[in-house]
Amino acid sequence: MQRSRWVGAGVLASALVLTSCSSGPAGVDAKQNKKATLELWTRTTPGGPGEQGAVKLAAAFQKATGYKVKVTAIFDDFETKLQQRAAQKKLPDIVMNDVTQLGAMHSQGLLREIDLDKIEDSKEIIGQGLDSGKSVDGKQYGLPYSAQASALLIRKDWRQKLKLDVPETWDDFAAMAKAFTTRDPDGDGKKNTSGLAAPLSTKRGYASWYFSNFLWAAGGDFITEAGKGTYKPAMTSKASAEAVQWFRDLGCKDKAVQPGAVTMDTPPTNETFESGKTGMFVVGPYLLPRFDETLGKDKYEVVPMPKGPKDSTVLAEGGSVYLMAGSDNRAGQDAFASFAVSAEGQKTGMEGDTAYTVQLPVNKSVDISQVRPDPRWKTYAQVYQDSGRYAPSIPNWTPVRQATADTLNALMADCGLDTGTKLRELDKQLAGILEEQGISAS
């Protein structure tokens, strides 16, 4: 399951015209039929491993419960096709999509509230995972079925050659980044390596997505909750500004970030790590199979992120099950959601080398090592449980991520810009975004 499945999935257009709240976009009062086949849409490439994993999960669910499921994989124009179905009042029964899409779909009236009393294993869902499915009104509209979190990949052979310890603090992290840049860790006699691989492009907000792993660990934030579902900008706070400056110094002063980072999204950044151009990379577990093959499992290691000024909080993401409005088989919807988060469903979803739907389990009773004995997956699962944090489920997270990415990219691209000035401009922009979405605290 590639990172591109989760980053930057498009949001539903605000121009979508829905029917009244009493009937919903697909007619919430549809006559119920427990024998009706459930239509499940999953946002992944047709014919790819993501679709194969979804089909496998659906088959296991059908065998366990008797409910029939038809799986449709859509990647291109997913949101447009969902809009079309909404206009026809014929939404799919279930959607498996990025957790960050909750706000958009809920604000468009496409989702029905999930009654956790009807979800058998709801109390076994990891806390932050369950919270990720709540909208700004505090109600449950999504259930996580797969999670991922960021850990630190390090060129182990480089670290050992330079006699460095695994970093435990940000000072250690910066020192390793500088050493990997200046001390010829690959031994070829040339200064052609960089300490940190970082996708800092503005495309799909990558710079903001990556930087969140540092911002939150410093105690900073993009926006902060101000009570009663309202938020205020937070990029000019002391913690946020210091995190930006620290990260900026890695690139501008230490020259420890790979050349061209400000134009790179994840594909070219991945290549810098696997080709021996960079020595550290903060990323999720989905790249382990690729790097094992291209770089070699013995060449790198997976460790938790070192403690920042506040803690070791990292970005958590993943996929959620959404129960769509207007279904004529709500009992089947509830049953599928229950199965997806159950121990059986989670283990089924993790099986396979590539055709799986679950990266890290969200059910507390599931030990990932029972399915994947590789201890590196256990490290990722522990990081998710201990330090993972999701982006807030505001009506539309995309413009917040994009605005912060644009500013961070500019600061990394032009080291002469004044950090304070750019962050003040950003907070004004964020204030306008929050106002437009009706969640501003001011």
pLDDT tens by residue, 81-139: 999 999 999 999 999 999 999 999 999 999 999 999 999 999 999 999 999 999 988 99
Q: What confidence score (pLDDT) does residue 10 get?
A: 36
Rounded to an integer, the average pLDDT of 172-186 is 98
pLDDT over 90, % of the chain: 91
For residues 91 and 26, the answer to whether their CB atoms sit within 8 Å is: yes
Phi, psi of 197 (to 5 degrees): -90, 125
Q: Quote the CA–CA distance of 12 and 103 in Å, as a whole number.
A: 10
Q: Which pLDDT score, from 0 to 100, does residue 28 have?
A: 52
Per-residue pLDDT tens for 187-198?
Answer: 999 999 999 999
Residue 170 burial (CB count, 10 A) = 20
Instruction: Please state, in angstroms and rounded to a whole number, the distance separating the CA atoms of residues 64 and 73.
Output: 22
Query: Which pair of tokens denotes residue 48?
Result: 């790819």
pTM: 0.90
| Residue 27: predicted pLDDT | 45
Domain ranges of the chain: 3-148+315-389, 151-314+396-436
The DSSP bridge partners found for residue 278 are 194
CB within 8 Å of 91: residues ≥ 6 apart: 25, 26, 82, 85, 110, 324, 325, 326, 327
**Predicted pLDDT at 232:** 98
What tokens appear for 318 in the block?
């993943």
Inter-residue contact 303 to 324 (CB < 8 Å): no
Residue 37, phi-psi category: left (phi > 0), alpha (psi -120 to 50), beta (remainder)? beta
Region 312-319: what's the mean pLDDT?
Answer: 97
Say what the pLDDT of residue 23 is.
37
Domain 151-314+396-436 in CATH: superfamily?
Periplasmic binding protein-like II (3.40.190.10)
pLDDT value at residue 13: 38
- Nearest C-alpha neighbor of 148 from the set 264, 339, 1, 341: 1
Using an 8 Å Cβ cutoff, are 73 and 51 in contact?
Answer: yes
Of the listed ranges 8-17, 109-118, 421-430, the least confidently predicted one is 8-17
CB 45 within 8 A of CB 75: yes
Q: What is the pLDDT of residues 38-77, one digit of tens each?
A: 999 999 999 999 999 999 999 999 999 999 999 999 999 9
pLDDT at 235 over 80: yes
**What proportion of the chain, given as a percentage, has pLDDT over 70?**
94
Query: What is the reported pLDDT for 103?
Result: 93
CATH code of the domain made up of 3-148+315-389: 3.40.190.10
Q: At residue 412, does pLDDT exceed 50?
A: yes
Residue-averaged pLDDT of the chain: 93
Q: Which two tokens stand for residue 228?
A: 């009663």
How far is the C-alpha of 172 from the C-alpha of 265, rounded, in Å? 26
At residue 353 the predicted structure's pLDDT band, cuts being 50, 70 and 90, is confident
- Helical segments of 31-185, H only: 49-65, 78-87, 102-107, 127-131, 156-161, 170-182
pLDDT at residue number 304: 98
Q: Identify the DSSP state of 232.
A: E
Of the two residues 361 and 25, the one the predictor is more confident about is 361
- Check residue 442 and give its pLDDT: 84
Q: Is the pLDDT of residue 20 over 50?
A: no
Instruction: Please indicate whether the domains covering 3-148+315-389 and 151-314+396-436 agree at the CATH topology level.
Output: yes
